[in-house]
């Protein structure tokens, strides 16, 4: 039994819809907690900030010292020895800081990459743990984004923004410390002058972020129309819809352009704000420093160094503000990834779990209820007991729940209520390995991996020997088909199995299942796309294959139902009828109606 995971605030957690209202700090805290490699680098991070700041602060201090103690203000007061000593010290500091900078960056890079690797692989593993219900409700693109573009957004941040966050605040703080050392009032003047720049920059930035959101939506729409132009290429050409698609494309490309330009407008402004305010601070320091030099107890070198610092201070501040944008998209990406990682798994495998004995499977289903998150109940109170070794056909209209029933028998999702027992063992208590060895489903959609046909078959049982593989092919009498492939078993299946026809992909899936040798075999219209002749030949082969196991076939044609021991008729999520073909065909009801239609359709 599963309950939908719920947050403490009562919101339902789904793996595809993160809570956007969660604050940045909360995300960062959770993120650090979820990423052990990140925690180990924090001390180093501080060391790096200090070392970089030291290297940069050495310069203005050198100038001040050279002017004040080196006597550079007057030609006749110059003390070459003192200046040489100062320069030597500064060179030493700069070289040491550079060395520290190098070492800490190195360490940080490997920490950060380890974190990203950890995050990416954890998220990937999580996707495969989500139940089939989650996969149904979530677009593949969204899941893909979590392990690719979202992690890339974080990676970009780690490669640039993160360093800025580490070094620049320390640098700005250091500059203020040096300023305050020369003169506290001057430091205050600078701080007060620069202070209004911060809310101003934030204001511009908020507009930039809003503009960026619009831009991202526009990018999605544009990729959508490109994707249609490519995947729908045949339809577009067959129906002369080129102009229509061209219009969509032109519009979406232009919208993307205009939203980007708008976002750029704000970006161009952010950078100069701090520069302008720093110039104002420069002017104020100059006026106040010159007029009140005695009251402030300033030396000439100190004032020059202060002015120098003020010209430098705008740089790190505006860089920080630039990085903020990147930081925000990184945080939002991080939030999404963490959300996926934290989403509860509906179908958790028991550890260690029970092991079912080999051989045909007895199935007992009691009061099975299941609903997807969207779209209401799919199965509503299904109960059935199937003796081991039975050949069962499942029939019903599209949407009657027959495929969902099959999926639940191999635990692609857990029921809302009710139970499924195989050989007396609750399905959810079987270990993953035992479940796989016991139950095998051949889905209708024969998805293949971009590997050879032989490798794709072997995915059914990687440990199988060549002889076993050959035996499976021969059992299904499909040798002729393998021989017809350009390179036999070594023929590449292509992207998603694209080198093979839909029917051929189903053949691979079928051999795969034969190789796995399960006690319960479930065929979901597994031969719906092969030609009638092959299909008929396969029917005989499948009958042989089903010896010594329980077979459940979702029927796409009459013969399957006619030759089954038991027929289950599904209607709107209920098990409407059950019995042998001979019994059901004379009973008034769905099956009789269906049978009449079928025979009418296939035998005029």
d(CA 192, CA 281): 9
Q: For the segment 428-447, give every residue that binds another protein (CB under 8 A).
A: 432-433, 435-436, 440-443, 445, 447
Measure Cα distances from 552 to 243, 329, 395, 564 in Å.
Answer: 49, 49, 11, 9
Q: How far apart are CA 403 and CA 133, in angstroms?
A: 13
Work out whether 587 is an interface residue with another protein (CB under 8 A).
Answer: no
Nearest distance, CB of residue 344 and another protein, angstroms? 17
Interacting residue with another protein among 38, 53, 61, 62 (CB under 8 A):
62
Q: Is 53 in the site for another protein (CB under 8 A)?
A: no
Crossing angle of helices 300-342 and 242-291, rounded to 10°: 150
Total number of residues that touch another protein (CB under 8 A): 182
Report if residue 371 touches another protein, rule: CB under 8 A.
Answer: no
Residues 532-571 close enough to bind another protein by CB under 8 A: 532-537, 539-540, 557-559, 562-563
Indicate whether 452 belongs to the interface with another protein (CB under 8 A): yes
Which positions from 510 to 539 touch another protein by CB under 8 A, shown as an x/- string? Answer: --x---------------xxxxxxxxxx-x
Strands 391-396 and 550-554 come out as: parallel
Scan residues 91-110 and list those touching another protein (CB under 8 A): 91, 94-95, 97-99, 101-102, 105-106, 109-110
Query: Rounded to the nearest 5 degrees, what angle is found at the Cα of 489, between the Cα atoms of 483 and 492?
Result: 115
Check residue 203 for interaction with another protein (CB under 8 A).
no
Examine residue 55 and say whether the peptide bond preceding it is cis (omega within 30 degrees of 0).
Answer: no
Give Rg (Cα) of the chain. 35
**Nearest-CA neighbor of 509 among 437, 442, 452?**
442
CB of 27 or CB of 413, closer to another protein:
413
Q: Tell whether residue 117 is a contact of another protein (CB under 8 A).
A: yes
The answer to whether 421 contacts another protein (rule: CB under 8 A) is: no
How many other β-carbons are positioned within 10 Å of the β-carbon of residue 49? 22
Nearest CA-CA partner of 34 in 398, 335, 251 = 335
Q: How far is the CB of 62 from another protein (least distance, A)?
A: 6
Q: For residue 464, what are the contacts with CB-CB under 8 A and spacing of at least 6?
A: 458, 472, 515
Cβ distance to another protein smaller for residue 58 or 368: 58
Task: Say whether residue 603 binds another protein (CB under 8 A).
Answer: yes
Shortest distance, position 10 Cβ to another protein, whole Å: 26
Residue (23 or 488) nearer to another protein, CB: 488
385 contacts another protein (rule: CB under 8 A):
no
Binding mask 132-161 for another protein (x = CB under 8 A): x--x---xxx-xx--xxx--x--x---x--
Q: CB-wise, 50 or 280, nearer to another protein?
A: 280
Closest CA to 55 of 18, 19, 90, 16: 90
Find the shortest distance in angstroms from Cβ 244 to another protein. Answer: 6
CA–chain centroid gap for 41, Å, is: 25
Least distance in angstroms from the C-beta of 219 to another protein? 8
User: Judged by CB under 8 A, which stretch of 205-213, 350-358, 378-386, 592-600 contacts another protein?
Assistant: 592-600
Among the listed residues 10, 43, 199, 600, the single contact to another protein using CB under 8 A: 600
Q: Is residue 509 a contact partner of residue 446, using CB atoms and an 8 Å limit?
A: yes
The answer to whether residue 230 forms part of the interface with another protein (CB under 8 A) is: yes
Nearer to another protein, 9 or 604 (CB): 604
Site for another protein in 390-409 (CB under 8 A): 397-399
Task: Choose between 18 and 443: whose C-beta lies nearer to another protein.
Answer: 443
- What is the secondary structure of 458-480 as a DSSP string? HTT-TT--HHHHHHHHHHTT-HH
Nearer to another protein, 32 or 601 (CB): 601
- In the chain, count of helices (H) and strands (E)? 24, 10
Stretch that binds another protein, among 17-25, 38-46, 171-179, 311-319 (CB under 8 A): 311-319
Length of the chain: 604
Q: Contact between 494 and another protein (CB under 8 A)?
A: yes
Q: Quick one: 188 or 502, whose CB is closer to another protein?
A: 502
Binders of another protein among residues 236 to 265 (CB under 8 A) are 236-242, 244-246, 249-250, 253-254, 256-257, 260-261, 264-265
Residue 223 CB neighbour total at 10 angstroms: 13
Site string for another protein, 313-352 (x = CB under 8 A): --x-------------------------------------
The verdict on 26 binding another protein (CB under 8 A) reads no
Q: What distance lies between CA 477 and its chain's CA centroid?
A: 42
206 touches another protein by CB under 8 A: no
Task: Tell whether residue 86 is a contact of another protein (CB under 8 A).
Answer: yes
Long-range contacts of 83-87 (CB under 8 A, 24+ apart): 86/62, 87/62
Q: 578: which residues sit within 8 A by CB, 6+ positions away?
A: 384, 566, 567, 568, 569
> Could you tell me the sign of the dihedral formed by the alpha carbons of 214, 220, 223, 227, in that order?
negative
Instruction: Report the candidate in 36, 41, 332, 330 with the shortest Cα–Cα distance to residue 160.
Output: 330
Dihedral angle over CA of 232, 235, 239, 242, nearest 10: 20
Q: Which is nearer to another protein, 8 or 600 (CB)?
A: 600
Smallest distance, another protein to C-beta of residue 264, A: 4
Give the CA angle between residues 484, 540, 565 to the nearest 5°: 150
Question: Binding another protein by CB under 8 A: which of 184, 272, 295, 348?
Answer: 272
Cα separation, 339 vs 333, whole angstroms = 10
Q: 170-189 mask for another protein (x: CB under 8 A)?
A: --------------------
């Amino acid at each position: 039994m599963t309950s939908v995971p719920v947050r403490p605030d009562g919101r339902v957690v789904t793996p595809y819809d993160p809570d956007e209202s969660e604050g940045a700090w909360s995300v960062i805290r959770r993120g650090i907690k979820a990423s052990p490699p990140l925690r180990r680098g924090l001390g180093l991070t501080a060391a790096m900030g200090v070392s970089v700041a030291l290297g940069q602060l050495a310069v203005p201090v050198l100038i001040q010292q050279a002017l004040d103690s080196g006597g550079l203000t007057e030609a006749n007061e110059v003390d070459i020895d003192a200046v040489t000593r100062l320069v030597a010290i500064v060179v030493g500091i700069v070289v040491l800081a550079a060395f520290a900078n190098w070492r800490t960056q190195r360490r940080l890079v490997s920490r950060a990459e380890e974190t990203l690797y950890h995050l990416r692989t954890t998220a990937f593993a999580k996707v495969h743990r989500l139940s089939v219900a989650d996969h149904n409700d979530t677009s593949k693109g969204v899941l893909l984004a979590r392990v690719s573009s979202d992690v890339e957004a974080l990676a970009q941040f780690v490669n640039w923004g993160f360093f800025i966050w580490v070094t620049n605040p320390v640098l700005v703080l250091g500059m203020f410390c040096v300023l305050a050392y020369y003169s506290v009032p001057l430091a205050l003047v600078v701080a007060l002058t620069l202070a209004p720049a911060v809310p101003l920059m934030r204001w511009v930035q908020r507009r930039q972020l809003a503009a960026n959101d619009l831009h991202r939506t526009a990018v999605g729409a544009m990729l959508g129309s490109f994707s249609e132009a490519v995947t729908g290429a045949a339809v577009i050409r067959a129906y002369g819809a080129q102009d229509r698609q061209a219009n969509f494309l032109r519009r979406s490309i232009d919208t993307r352009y205009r939203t980007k330009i708008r976002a750029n407008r704000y970006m161009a402004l952010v950078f100069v704000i701090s520069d302008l305010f720093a110039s104002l601070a420069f002017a104020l320091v100059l006026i106040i420093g010159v007029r009140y030099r005695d009251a402030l107890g300033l030396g000439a070198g100190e004032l020059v160094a202060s002015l120098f610092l003020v010209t430098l201070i705008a740089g790190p501040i505006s860089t920080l503000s630039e990085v903020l944008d990147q930081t925000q998209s990184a945080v939002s990406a991080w939030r999404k990834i963490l959300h996926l990682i934290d989403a509860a798994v509906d179908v958790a495998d028991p550890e260690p779990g029970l092991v079912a004995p080999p051989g045909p499977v007895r199935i007992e289903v009691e009061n099975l209820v299941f609903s997807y998150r969207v779209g209401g109940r799919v199965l509503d109170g299904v109960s059935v007991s199937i003796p081991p070794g039975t050949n069962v056909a499942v029939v019903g209209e599209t949407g009657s729940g027959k495929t969902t029933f099959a999926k639940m028998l191999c635990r692609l999702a857990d029921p809302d209520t009710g139970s499924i027992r195989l050989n007396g063992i609750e399905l959810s208590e079987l270990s993953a390995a035992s479940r796989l060895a016991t139950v095998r489903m051949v889905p209708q959609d024969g998805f293949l991996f971009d590997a050879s046909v032989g490798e794709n078959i072997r995915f059914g049982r990687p440990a199988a020997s060549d002889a076993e593989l050959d035996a499976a092919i021969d059992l299904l009498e499909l040798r002729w088909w393998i021989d017809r492939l350009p390179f036999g078993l070594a023929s590449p299946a292509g992207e998603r199995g694209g080198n093979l026809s839909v029917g051929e992909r189903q053949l691979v899936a079928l051999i795969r299942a034969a190789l796995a040798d399960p006690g319960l075999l479930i065929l979901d219209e597994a031969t719906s796309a092969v030609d009638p002749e092959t299909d008929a030949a396969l029917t005989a082969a499948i009958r042989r294959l089903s010896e010594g196991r329980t077979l459940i076939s979702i029927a796409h044609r009459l013969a399957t139902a006619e030759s089954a021991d038991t027929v289950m008729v599904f209607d709107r999520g209920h098990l409407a009828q059950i019995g042998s073909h001979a019994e059901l065909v004379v009973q008034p009801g769905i099956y009789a109606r269906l049978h009449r239609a079928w025979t009418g359709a296939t035998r005029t």
